Amino acid sequence: MIDAYFYGTHTRNSPEAPVPIINLEKKEKRLGGAANVALNIKALGATPILCSIVGDDWDGQQLLSLLNKESLSSHGVIIDKTRNTTVKTRVIGNNKHFLRIDEESTTFISKEIETEIITKASSLLADIDVLIFQDYNKGLLTPHVIKHITKLCNELSIPIVVDPKYDQFFEFKNCTLFKPNRKEIAEAYHKKETESLDFMSLTEELRNTLNAQKVMTTLSENGVLILDANTKHHFQAHPRKIVDVSGAGDSVLSVAALCVASGLSNTLIAHLSNLAGGLVCEKVGVVPVDKVMLLEEASQLGFDSLLL
């Protein structure tokens, strides 16, 4: 998807309705969605291979152009002539997020496109060290796509890392690492997202339900939980000056996936991912994590010797 931005200054409200007036100063388009995950992967020093769809429209061409500009391959990107390209437009005034406008199709992809995606993804598996399912509930990751690609990865011993959304939450069985946030796991179990909710128990129940090797639940300012069949950990968040949470989940996922691919411990997966999400929250807009800053903070916390 494309993340579009309108930047300006807010000095007054409209006389026509109780809404702010933003004096537009700059427009910008960035790679978003799974493409932002790819940017994070690239920024961290690995090579991302995208497999997704765009619409047969101007925004789709713009997205492909942005991929080319960032030296990201579009070989795995399929054009779907039946739907529009997803665009999220954010209006920013005085460095504050005032409004977001979404243009998207969210129905499941057709059977024909489903077959194309599975065929394309299958052809790319030989070149990868970890597969990421980045779900945004936009219709690409159907139950059949998830099940088929998961089976192939399991057969090839390729680790799978999942960032879920509500609709297909329980479809991602037999993955290596499942990464919901507190809102998503509460919704999945029809619970109210309160401080008293036992997220550790829910995370453990979820791991068993999915037959996942690990589940890592991010808890915003309350840190992160990570567990497997033998261990449970709750690590606190580090103090941050939060400016914009947009894209933080993408950075958390990207770092977690590379940690899994590198065979790092649960402790390092959780801490490094947590640090990455916090760093991104200090920036305006959707931006990839800064590898140098991430490693500097990791070093300050004593993780440098484990990362060599």
Choose the catalytic residue: 135, 163, 250, 290. 250
Q: Measured between alpha carbons, how far is residue 295 from residues 166, 273, 301 in Å?
A: 33, 12, 10
- For residue 7, the number of C-alpha atoms closer than 13 Å in the C-beta half-sphere is 9
Q: Which string of b and e fits 274-300 if b means at least 16 CB within 10 Å?
A: bbbbbbbbebebbbbbbeeebbebbee
Whether residue 56 lies in the annotated active site: no
Provide the token pair at 88. 């999220």
How deeply is 50 buried, as exposed, middle or buried, from its count of CB atoms within 10 A (0-12, 13-18, 19+)? buried
The alpha carbon of 268 is separated from its chain's Cα centroid by a whole number of angstroms, namely 19
Catalytic amino acids?
A: 250
